[in-house]
């Protein structure tokens, strides 16, 4: 028997779930439309196909290739992009548009105009939060919630065992810890095997944005200092805090038959998910707010607004908050620091709580990425 729930997902802040693909001005452009500035993602293959069938365009393109100047390629594709070549459009921040024109004057080999693409439905302009991403974020919260229930004696034994290991051995402890907490022996008896979440697809029209992501630190005087040399530009799902009304109606299934198999000791329910997610994510946000944003005097109006939204959301019936996607910060995607086992191969050490935050720059206001509100409603058995 499966319990089936409608899962309504509302992005609160911009969300970036990457594809690994990086776009250049050979694949996008900016335009001024009647409704404002827009970012147009186009198909260079579509343009090239049209060029191949047009003798004059072919000659122009051949002359461009002979110049051996990447900026001239950019100009050629920009000029010859038609509405038939456009795959999708996004809103953009004012700063991205400003940087776009600055970047086009730079040496293209500097990669200054690169934009990180977000995950979309196959052959569709609509952005997607994969169900696997939501499930992974839920799993982290449930693991921490169950870890909080471990007796002090057992917790101390686990902590001693972890601390006894060499740093390069600690990553492997994570799997052992999860088995201990979830009381399973292998993948077949993992209680999360019974939890399925469908992908969440969002309407792409005015529901996605392109902007700059900045790495910031808090100075003693309350100033938030951005590391300007790090220029990261991303596509993102927009988020209600900056004007989107887009939601996705997905499906959460909990297979009770799988939870009743021999060897499965833990049961995951909708209430388990709601309670542990709210406990974990509100605590992580409040800790982050206290350390990084509380005493900041500028650029945090949206963060103060987010604090209120999250606090109110966890009071709503059958509702939980969660953080997904890239730039979600280490503390939000792992269990507590005592058992943090993310091995930094460059520094050859365990990653600890960061001294910086990664935020989306919405025209001078900073906002953490990845926050969602999810409502669970049972529809059938």
pLDDT digits (tens, 9 = 90+) for 236-255: 999 999 988 999 999 999 98
SS3 (DSSP) at 187: helix
Please determine, for residue 332, whether its predicted confidence score (pLDDT) is greater than 90.
no
Mean pLDDT of 204-232: 85
Can you give the pLDDT at residue 300?
Answer: 93
- Is the pLDDT at 197 greater than 90, yes or no? yes
167: tokens are 């740093």
What pLDDT is recorded for position 220? 75
pLDDT at 107: 62
pLDDT recorded at residue 343: 44
More confident residue, 278 or 225: 278
Is the model's pLDDT at 315 over the cut of 60? yes
Model confidence pLDDT, tens digit, residues 69-79 = 888 888 888 88
pLDDT at 177: 84
CA distance 70 to 288: 42
Band the pLDDT of 96: cuts 50, 70, 90.
Answer: very high
- What share of the chain in percent tops pLDDT 70? 93
DSSP per-residue letters across 243-300: T----EEEEEEEEHHHHTSTT------HHHHHHHHHHHHHHHHHHHIIIIITT--SS-
| Tokens matching residue 42 | 């186009």
Contact present, 70 and 109 (Cβ < 8 Å): yes
Find, among 287, 293, 330, the residue nearest to 217 by Cα: 293
The position carrying tokens 């229930």 is: 149
Report yes or no: 238 and 364 within 8 Å, Cβ to Cβ. Answer: no
d(CA 59, CA 44): 17
Q: Give the mean pLDDT of 168-192.
A: 83
How crowded is the C-beta side of 68, counted as CA atoms within 13 Å? 0
306: number of Cβ within 10 Å: 21
Choice between 369 and 165, residue whose per-residue pLDDT is larger: 369
Residue 4, pLDDT above cutoff 60 = yes
As a whole number, mean pLDDT of residues 343-365 equals 70
- Characterize the bridge pairing of strands 224-226 and 208-218: antiparallel
The percent of residues in the chain predicted with pLDDT above 90, rounded, is: 49
Lowest-pLDDT range of 73-77, 209-213, 247-251, 323-327: 73-77
Asked if residue 342 has pLDDT above 70, the reply is no
Distance of alpha carbon 220 from the chain centroid: 29
**What's the burial of 374, exposed, middle or buried (CB within 10 Å: 0-12/13-18/19+)?**
buried
**DSSP one-letter code for 52:** H
């Amino acid at each position: 028997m499966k319990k089936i729930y409608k899962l309504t997902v509302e992005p609160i802040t911009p969300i970036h779930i990457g594809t690994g693909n990086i776009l250049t001005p050979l694949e996008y452009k900016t335009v001024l439309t009647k409704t404002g500035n827009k970012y147009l993602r186009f198909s260079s293959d579509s343009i090239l196909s049209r060029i191949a069938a047009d003798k004059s365009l072919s000659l122009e393109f051949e002359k461009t290739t002979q110049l051996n100047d990447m900026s001239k390629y950019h100009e050629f594709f920009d000029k010859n992009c038609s509405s038939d070549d456009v795959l999708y459009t996004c809103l953009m921040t004012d700063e991205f548009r400003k940087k776009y024109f600055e970047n086009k004057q730079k040496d293209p080999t500097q990669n200054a105009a690169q934009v990180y693409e977000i995950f979309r439905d196959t052959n569709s302009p609509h952005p997607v939060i994969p169900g696997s991403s939501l499930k992974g974020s839920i799993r982290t919260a449930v693991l921490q919630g169950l870890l909080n229930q471990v007796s002090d004696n057992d917790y101390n034994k686990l902590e001693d065992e972890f601390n006894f290991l060499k740093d390069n051995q600690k990553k492997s402890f994570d799997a052992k810890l999860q088995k201990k907490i979830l009381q399973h022996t292998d993948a077949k008896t993992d209680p999360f095997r019974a939890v399925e979440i469908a992908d969440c697809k969002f309407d792409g029209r005015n529901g996605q944005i392109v902007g700059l992501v900045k790495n910031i630190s808090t100075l003693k005087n309350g100033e938030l200092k951005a590391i300007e040399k790090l220029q990261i530009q991303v596509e993102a799902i927009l988020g209600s805090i900056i004007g989107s009304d887009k939601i996705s109606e997905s499906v959460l299934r909990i297979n009770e038959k799988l939870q009743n198999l021999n060897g499965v000791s833990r049961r995951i329910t909708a209430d388990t998910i709601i309670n542990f997610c709210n406990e974990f994510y509100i605590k992580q946000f409040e800790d982050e707010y206290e350390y990084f944003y509380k005493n900041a005097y500028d650029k945090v109006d949206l963060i103060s607004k987010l604090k209120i939204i999250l606090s109110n959301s966890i009071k709503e019936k059958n509702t939980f908050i969660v953080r997904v996607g890239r730039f979600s910060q280490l503390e939000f995607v792992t269990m507590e620091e005592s058992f943090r086992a993310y091995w930094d191969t460059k520094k050859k050490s365990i990653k600890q709580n960061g001294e910086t935050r990664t935020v989306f720059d919405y025209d001078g206001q900073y906002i953490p990425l990845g926050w969602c509100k999810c409502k669970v409603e049972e529809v059938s058995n």
